[in-house]
Homo-oligomer: A and B are copies of this chain.
Amino acid sequence: MALVVGSFCAAFLWLLDGVTEARFMHPWLLFGLPGAGAAIGAVYAWVGRPAEGGNNLIVDQIHEPGGGIPLRMAPLIVISTLVTHLFGGSAGREGTAVQLGGTIASAIGKPFGLGPADTSMLLTTGIAAGFGAVFGTPIAGAVFALEVLAVGRVQYSALVPCVLAAIVGDWACHIWGITHVAYHVAFSSVTDGPAGSFHADPVLLAKVALAGVAFGLASLLFSEAMHWCGSAFKRLCTIPWLRPAIGGLAVIGLTYALGTRDYLGLGVTSPDPHAASIVAFFGNHVFPWAWAWKIVFTVATLATGFKGGEVTPLFFIGAGLGNALSGLLGAPTDLFAALGFVAIFAGASNTPLACTIMGIELFGSGNTIYIAVACFVAYLCSGHSGIYLAQRLAVPKT
């Protein structure tokens, strides 16, 4: 199962790279965004009924199996994500990978007539495989799959299956030749030898905790903006295909109003080395407001009905905010970009442990303490809703 999920994720990532390249080469594609949005809206309105639930449908099915996940969700989400990215919508990819993982797991499990408990476990491993493969962080993927189901609690019922699924998913992705962008954090708090000789700098730690509060509040702002704009817009405009078309027009308008294309697409890299991108946030240049504009672009894209994930935009927002804060607080830019990258996601998805491990998998163990503090504080400050509304509330935060 994990092999299949990993391979599909590899194919998806490969196509996504191609699509992003195409968009860089043909700037006029942006004008197709309203039309593409109308098409996505129309297709989902026509055949997508339960599939529209996306990640929330999968989480719901894990909590209470029954009804199942329609197989058509997989091609629908992959194609609509690729279309969103081709025409320049600001969106992510992990939502797609998680839905792909969950759908494939559900399809593979169906012929075996599994009971509710086994179905839950299979879907959970599907999430782990998808997440592990798409970011190249298998242990974080496994913990994420268990942690995302409820706020404030992790249960270990599927620990080993998840970790195996995530490792195999990641491995399958590597076999197909997919490589992940490596972020470089030169700053390390470890001065002499292994992490055992770590000495936390209290001043820096206080700055990290302060930044954690900001990351948590930014994730709260993002989640609330997504939910509020999404439902307000649904009330204002009742024609499903018209909503993403209007969203597409808004993105075009914003792009020309700001005179920059930095906030379109994934935003991981950019053909222009001086542009705002996740990689650029780890450099020396400070971008004070890139994070705020990315929130506006992403809400305009996803809340109006385009498809894709919320997480890569969140990484952009977090790394951008970290980059901006490092200037204000007089702290290492690369470290704070890294902290924002994982901490804002910890806040938005209520998965502080998975994001701490992800930070270690991506940036090494030299800054474990700062990563953990930023993720835990952001989790505490992000409120209870988060980006996944199907999450159950197990343990309130205060």
Q: Which of B139, B167, B353 contacts A154 (CB 8 A)?
A: B353
Select the stretch in A174-182, A249-257, A297-305 that faces chain B.
A174-182
Q: Is A360 an interface residue (CB 8 A)?
A: yes
* Cα distance A156–B356 in the bound complex, in angstroms: 14
Shortest Cβ distance from A48 into chain B, in angstroms? 34
Q: Are A200 and B167 in contact (CB under 8 A)?
A: yes
Q: Are B363 and A194 in contact (CB under 8 A)?
A: yes
Residues of B within 8 A of A380 (CB): 159-160
Q: Are A360 and B360 in contact (CB under 8 A)?
A: yes
Given A139-B368, A183-B194, A360-B365, the answer on whether A159 and B200 have CB atoms closer than 8 Å is: no
Number of copies: 2
Q: Is A377 an interface residue (CB 8 A)?
A: yes
Name the residue on B nearest A192 (C-beta): B182
Q: Are B184 and A194 in contact (CB under 8 A)?
A: yes
Given A153-B154, A156-B152, A195-B362, the answer on whether A202 and B373 have CB atoms closer than 8 Å is: no
Q: Which of B136, B143, B197, B356 contacts A139 (CB 8 A)?
A: B356
Residues of B within 8 A of A167 (CB): 200, 205, 369, 373
Q: Are A368 and B376 in contact (CB under 8 A)?
A: no
* Cα distance A198–B364 in the bound complex, in angstroms: 11
Taken residue by residue from 341 to 383, chain A's Cβ proximity to chain B (1 for < 8 Å, 0 otherwise) reads as 0000000000011001100111111001100110011011000
* Cα distance A379–B360 in the bound complex, in angstroms: 22
Chain A residues near B (Cβ < 8 Å) = 136-139, 142-143, 152-157, 159-160, 163-164, 167, 170-171, 174, 179-184, 193-200, 202, 205, 352-353, 356-357, 360-365, 368-369, 372-373, 376-377, 379-380, 394-395, 397
The 8 closest A-B pairs by CB, nearest first: A365-B365, A154-B154, A139-B372, A182-B196, A152-B156, A195-B361, A155-B395, A180-B196
